[in-house]
Amino acid sequence: MEFDVSMVVRDMCIIVLAAKFLGLLARKIKVPDVAGEIIAGLLIGPSVLNLVNTSQYLSALAEIGVIMLMFSAGLSTNLRSLKKTGLKATAIAVFGVFVPLILGTVLYMCFYGFAPWGDEKFYRAVFIGTILTATSVSITAQTLKDLGRIKEEVATTIMSAAIIDDVIGIVVLTFVIGLKDPEANVARVCIFTVLFFVFVALVGYLIYRLFKYYDKKYPHTRRIPILGLALAFGLAYLADDVFGVADITGAFVAGVILCSLKDSDYINRKMDVNSYMLFGPVFFCSIGIQTDLSSINMSILWFSLAFVLVGLLSKIIGCGLISKCMRYSNRDCLKIGVGMMTRGEVALIVAQRGLQVGMLDSTFFTSVILLIIISSIMTPIILKGLYSE
C-alpha cells in the first residue's frame, strides 16, 4: 500500500464535480458536454489549478472508460439496417474516411516536412489523418430530429454512412496502430490485421450464439451486461497482445458482435450508467489534465487552425463529391457533407491511443479538442441554414 488511497477519494470528488459542472455549463451554451469536461480537466490539471495530476490509477480508470465507450459505440451499430443500406452510404463512408485520411497526412507534412513511406515521421503524419476519419453523428442526428427531417432519405443516408464510417475508420486505425512496432513491416501488419478480423468473425459468431441462448434464458439479468463487458475487455486484450492491433478495436468489435441481441439496448443502458457516473468524466478530464498548455506556441496554433479547416472541409469534400456522383442535388450533397463533419469522443480516443503508443504529441490534443468544439457548434447552425432556405 505504497500510495495513499485518500488521494483517490479526493481526486474523484474534484473530477466528478468539475466535470459535471462544466459539462452542464457547456450544454447551456450549446457546446457538447464533452468539451466542458475536457476544459474541467484543463482547469483542475497542472496547467491551471494543479489540483489533480496524472497518475497510474487515473490512466487505468481512463483506459477502462475508453473500453466502455468503444464497446458502447459497437453496440449501437445496427447490422440489419447496415445490410440494407447498400452502395450509396458505403461509398459516402469510404470517401468520408479516405479523403480526410489523405488530406490530414498531407497537412502534417506541409507543416513538419515531407517524409517518405516507412519513415517514423510518415507514420505520425498518417496518424493525424487517422484522427480525422471518425465521424460522430449524434449532434447531426439531434439536429435533424429537431428539424423533423430525420426520416428523410438524406438523413438516413447520413446515419448509415456514419456507422460504416466508424467501421472503416476502425480498420484504418487498427492497421495504423499495428505500424507502431519498430520491427513491424507493412506486410506483417496487414496479415495480423486480417487475421484479427478473421478470428473475431469466427469466434464472434460462436459467442453471439452463446449470448443469444443466454439472452433467451435469462433476459434482463445482470449477467448479460457483465459478460458483455468481460467480452469487451477480453477482445481488447487479445487485439493488443496477440494480434498487435489497437485494443479499442477489440472493444468495438465486442459491441458489434452483441449488437443484434434482443438485450443489446439493455446492455448499452447499463454501460451508459457506468460511463456517465464516473468513467466518462474521468476519461475526458484526464485528456484535459494531460494537455500541457505551456507547450502551446504559435506554430501549434497555426497548425490547429489548419487542422480544424482541413477536418471540416475534407468531410464536406469527400462525402459531398461522391454524393454528387450519385446524383444528389447540390444542396443535398452539402447537407450530407456537413452532416458528416462533426467529430466527437472517438477522435479523442484515437488521439489518446496515439499518445500512448508514441505516435502523437500531447500538444496536438489542443487541435483535436478545437475540432470537436468547432464542428459541434457549426454543424447544427449550417444544417439549419441549409434546410430553412
Chain residues that interact with a second copy, rule: CB under 8 A: 1-3, 5-6, 8-10, 12-13, 16-17, 20, 24, 56-57, 59-61, 63-64, 67, 222-223, 225-227, 229-230, 233-234, 236-237, 240-241, 247, 270, 273-274, 276-278, 281, 355-356
The distance of closest approach from Cβ of residue 5 to a second copy in the complex, given in angstroms and rounded to an integer, is 4
The nearer residue to a second copy, 12 or 370, going by C-beta atoms, is 12
Output the DSSP codes for 130-153.
HHTT----HHHHHHHHHHT-TTSH
Residue 190 C-beta: closest distance to a second copy, Å: 22
CA distances from 84 to 87, 89, 157, 161 (A): 9, 10, 11, 12
Nearer to a second copy, 116 or 182 (CB): 182
- Give the distance, in angstroms, between the CA of residue 349 and the centroid of all CA atoms in the same chain: 5
Q: In b/e form, how buried is each residue of 138-161, taking b as 16+ CB within 10 angstroms?
A: ebbbebbeebeebeeebbbbbbbb
| N-to-C CA span, the chain | 65
Shortest Cβ 382–a second copy spacing (Å): 29
CB of 12 to a second copy, least distance (A): 5
Q: How far is the CB of 121 from a second copy (least distance, A)?
A: 21
Distance CA 70, CA 59 (A): 16
Which residue, 18 or 383, has its beta carbon nearer to a second copy? 18
Minimum CB distance to a second copy, residue 212 (Å): 18
Minimum distance from residue 290 beta carbon to a second copy (Å):
10
Cβ-based nearer residue to a second copy, 21 or 302: 21
In sequence order, the 6+-apart residues with CB closer than 8 A to the CB of 223 are 214
* Closer to a second copy by Cβ: residue 57 or 205: 57
Question: Which among 62, 61, 16 is positioned nearest to 40, based on CA atoms?
Answer: 16
The DSSP secondary structure of 57-96, one letter per residue, reads: HHHHHHHHHHHHHHHHHHHT--HHHHHHH-HHHHHHHHHH
Residue 91 or 278: the one with the smaller Cβ distance to a second copy is: 278
CA torsion sign for 265, 234, 7, 26 is negative
Nearer to a second copy, 165 or 247 (CB): 247
Q: How near is the Cβ of 37 to a second copy at its closest, in Å?
A: 12
Q: How far is the CB of 283 from a second copy (least distance, A)?
A: 12
From CA 369, how far away is CA 256, in angstroms rounded?
Answer: 27
What is the C-alpha separation between 318 and 337, in angstroms, rounded? 7
The least distance separating a second copy from the CB of residue 42, rounded to whole angstroms, comes to 19
Residue 270 vs 315, nearer CB to a second copy: 270
Q: Rank residues 296 and 357 by Cβ distance to a second copy and give the closer one.
A: 357
**Three cell numbers at 128?**
493525424
Distance (Å, whole) CA 281 – CA 35: 11
| Amino acid of residue 176 | V
Residue type, 314: S
Q: Are 103 and 129 in contact (CB under 8 A)?
A: yes
User: How far apart are alpha carbons 352 and 66 in whole angstroms?
Assistant: 9
Which value, to the nearest 10 degrees, does the dihedral of the CA atoms of residues 373, 247, 54, 290 take?
A: -30
Neighbours of 28 (CB within 10 A): 9
Which of residues 245 and 336 has its CB atom nearest to a second copy in the complex?
Answer: 245
